[in-house]
Amino acid sequence: MGNLFTDIGKVLEKYGLTYLDGMKNTLILAVVATLIGCVIGFFCGILQTIPYGPKDHFLKRFFLKLLRVIIRAYVEVFRGTPMILQAVFIFYGLPYVTGIAFQDIWTVSIVVVSINTGAYMTESVRGGILSVDAGQTEGAKALGMNHFQTMLHVILPQTLRNIMPQIGNNYIINVKDTSVMFIIGFMEFFSVHKIVAGATFKYFPSAVLEMGGYLLMTLAASVLLRWIEKKLAGRQSYELVNLDQLATTAGTYNYPGKGSPFDERSREFGGEKR
């Protein structure tokens, strides 16, 4: 054991900054690509759920149907093939076929991981939208909101809350899976291990550092996501408002929580108050 700590110390002394650099790159790539992936997901998810009926104009129906087919194809292709191959396709294939090449390795990496995440998020968002009770849409329509307003103000805020766990999942997957971007020469966290191990032959001490580093990046995200989820859920209790200044003021009122018993925040679970 003592040996291990000395080795780790030695590796860190010489390559500590390289590890940090790799971690920084992985983190930026994962965060940025997850965010862009979410935007793609929301965009495609919304386009995919624009309703059309037999009474709509022929061109509108045709266009919306075509849109759904294209999005479907995008999802199936990018979900159904390995990201490592997608990276190769875009990095080497694009210049091969079109003669246009990305100059910057960062751009390619962000594009590849974002498009990949977008494919997963499109499905999550579609599911999230469908899981919002149809009554919410009818309530909004009855007030005169159009499809876009209904989505923006009523459905998507609820969708976002519902799919927070999936966004977290995608981020965590991205932190780990961006390690395949070494294939196009992106200097992410895992490629540091290959450099260090190749130079020092200290495979295991370096792997320990890598494990710790990855866990740190994913745990931090888990904590942050929990916090956001809580924020999105809103407060559990509310103040009774008394606009009549002469009346006695009422205290905090707490209607019995109605969370799912499987939700750790619900009372039955003995969870903490929001």
Residues that bind other proteins (CB under 8 A): 53, 55, 135-136, 138-146, 149, 153-154, 157-158, 161, 234, 238-243, 250, 253-255, 258
The distance of closest approach from Cβ of residue 130 to other proteins in the complex, given in angstroms and rounded to an integer, is 16
Give CA angle at 89 (84, 95), nearest 5°: 140
Is the Cβ of residue 54 or residue 270 nearer to other proteins in the bound state? 54
The distance of closest approach from Cβ of residue 37 to other proteins in the complex, given in angstroms and rounded to an integer, is 23
Q: Name the phi and psi angles at 261, rounded to 5.
A: -65, -15
Is the Cβ of residue 107 or residue 149 nearer to other proteins in the bound state? 149
Length of the chain in terms of residues written: 274
Q: Which residue has the tokens 């998507």?
A: 156
State the Cα–Cα distance between residues 159 and 196, nearest whole angstrom.
44
Is the Cβ of residue 99 or residue 144 nearer to other proteins in the bound state? 144
Is the Cβ of residue 201 or residue 262 nearer to other proteins in the bound state? 262
Helices 105-131 & 156-177 angle (0-180, nearest 10): 140
Spacing of C-alpha 263 from chain mean position: 21
The distance of closest approach from Cβ of residue 236 to other proteins in the complex, given in angstroms and rounded to an integer, is 8
State the Cα–Cα distance between residues 260 and 157, nearest whole angstrom.
20
State the Cα–Cα distance between residues 190 and 80, nearest whole angstrom.
24
The distance of closest approach from Cβ of residue 159 to other proteins in the complex, given in angstroms and rounded to an integer, is 10
The distance of closest approach from Cβ of residue 139 to other proteins in the complex, given in angstroms and rounded to an integer, is 3
Is the Cβ of residue 32 or residue 132 nearer to other proteins in the bound state? 132
Is the Cβ of residue 58 or residue 201 nearer to other proteins in the bound state? 58
Distances in Å between the Cα of 176 and the Cα atoms of 21, 70, 116, 142 are 16, 29, 14, 46
State the Cα–Cα distance between residues 98 and 101, nearest whole angstrom.
8
The distance of closest approach from Cβ of residue 240 to other proteins in the complex, given in angstroms and rounded to an integer, is 4
Going by C-alpha positions, the residue among 106, 69, 111, 117 that lies closest to residue 89 is: 111
